[in-house]
């Protein structure tokens, strides 16, 4: 049995996985439908709590998953797919280096060179797609954390610091580190994302753009994002990673349809207004008050390059 740390820490992690919404049309698709972008998914992983694994034999392991149809309305997109509890996303920037959101690696504050707590609690699984058989996951696709080189999750002078760099237990052979861009992103630049919303099999989210490129250390976008997308790579139109999905507003990405007796995705229009959940009684609707937040990589360029 794998060692895990206290449930209190896990719940703290979940509480900071701030949610977003669907803006306009739901632009999430299974990675198999991503066309020329599909190959990028080979370098994207989902963080899985160790207690969800059970070994089958020396080559395969079983992953314990749930069905979101247990709580989502059955006519909602992806409601028939299985999901992983307490998931985060992450991506390769080196042969054995993975980037994720800071709140996927530390409860609060800043840590360096740590091999306990979150590092011990999480494994990182590549190639988790809608075609995966959760009862027979190749062990070669599962990696453990050797060391959290650096992780931060805090607000400093009103600016979000939310980033983690992790050393995996071995090199991810056959997978290419993603190309990164440390330049300035402009308003209206097109962006897309690959990750695991709600712990679902890998999704490609497209047709989005930056609408505010100067929010402290972050960008605001209209990416369709959910808990589980935390740590997802966000790309520019040159297939370069510009940042990490870290947060979103409003905080309720689903709401209860009382008539149907199940949950539905919170949907807003293309301008972030007219959201279907009742989460705006004491706050303003529309952009820039509604957003998916992307932490820029440019503030972590030196750290990443020093550890390659």
The CATH number of whichever domain residue 183 belongs to comes to 2.40.10.120
Give which of 110, 125, 117 is closest to 41, Cα–Cα. Answer: 125
Give the separation between CA 305 and CA 308, rounded to whole angstroms.
5
- What is the pTM for the complete model shown? 0.92
pLDDT tens-place values along the chain, 308 residues long = 333 334 334 434 444 445 668 999 999 999 999 999 999 999 999 999 999 999 999 999 999 999 999 999 999 999 999 999 999 999 999 999 999 999 999 999 999 999 999 999 999 999 999 999 999 999 999 999 999 999 999 999 889 999 999 999 999 999 999 999 999 999 999 999 999 999 999 999 999 999 999 888 999 999 999 999 999 999 999 999 999 999 988 777 888 999 999 999 988 888 888 887 655 454 566 777 788 999 999 999 999 999 99
CB 242 within 8 A of CB 185: yes
CB 209 within 8 A of CB 198: no
Task: Specify if 232 maps to a domain.
Answer: yes
Q: Which domain does 263 fall in, by range? A: 22-306
CB 222 within 8 A of CB 209: yes
Number of domains in the chain: 1
Please give the C-alpha separations between residue 299 and each of 141, 160, 232, 304, in angstroms, as whole numbers.
30, 12, 17, 10
> Environment class of residue 51 by beta-carbon count within 10 Å: exposed (0-12), middle (13-18) or buried (19+)?
middle
Task: Specify if 3 maps to a domain.
Answer: no
Task: Specify if 130 maps to a domain.
Answer: yes
Give DSSP secondary structure letters for 43-58.
Answer: GEEEEEEGGGEEE-SS
Give the separation between CA 193 and CA 51, rounded to whole angstroms.
28
Task: Specify if 182 maps to a domain.
Answer: yes
Give the separation between CA 171 and CA 176, rounded to whole angstroms.
10
Residues 6 or more apart whose Cβ sits within 8 Å of residue 219? 185, 210, 212, 213, 242, 243, 293, 294, 296
């Amino acid at each position: 049995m794998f060692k895990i740390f206290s449930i209190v820490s896990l719940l703290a992690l979940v509480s900071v996985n701030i949610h977003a919404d669907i803006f306009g049309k739901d632009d999430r698709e299974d990675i198999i439908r991503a066309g020329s972008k599909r190959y990028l998914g080979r370098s994207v992983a989902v963080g899985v709590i160790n207690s969800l694994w059970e070994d089958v034999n020396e080559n395969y392991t079983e992953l314990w998953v749930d069905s979101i149809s247990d709580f989502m309305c059955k006519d909602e997109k992806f409601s028939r797919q299985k999901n992983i509890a307490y998931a985060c996303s992450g991506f390769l920037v080196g042969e054995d280096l993975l980037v994720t959101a800071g709140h996927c690696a530390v409860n609060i504050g800043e840590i360096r060179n740590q091999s306990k707590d979150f590092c011990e609690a999480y494994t990182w699984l590549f190639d988790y797609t809608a075609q995966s058989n959760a009862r027979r996951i190749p062990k070669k696709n599962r990696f453990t954390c050797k060391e959290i080189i650096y992780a931060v999750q805090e607000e400093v002078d009103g600016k979000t610091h939310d980033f983690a760099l992790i050393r995996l237990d071995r090199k991810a052979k056959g997978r290419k580190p993603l190309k990164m861009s440390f330049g300035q992103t402009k308003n209206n630049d097109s962006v897309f994302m690959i990750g695991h919303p709600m712990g679902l099999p890998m999704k490609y989210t497209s047709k989005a753009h930056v609408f505010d490129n100067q929010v402290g250390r972050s960008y605001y976008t209209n990416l369709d994002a959910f808990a589980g997308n935390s740590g997802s790579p966000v790309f520019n139109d040159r297939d370069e990673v510009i940042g990490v999905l870290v947060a979103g507003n409003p905080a309720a990405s689903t709401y209860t349809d009382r008539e149907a007796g199940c949950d539905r995705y919170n949907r807003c229009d293309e301008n972030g207004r007219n959201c279907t959940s009742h989460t705006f009684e004491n706050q303003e609707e529309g952009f820039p008050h509604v957003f998916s937040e992307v932490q820029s990589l440019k503030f972590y360029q030196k750290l990443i390059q020093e550890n390659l």
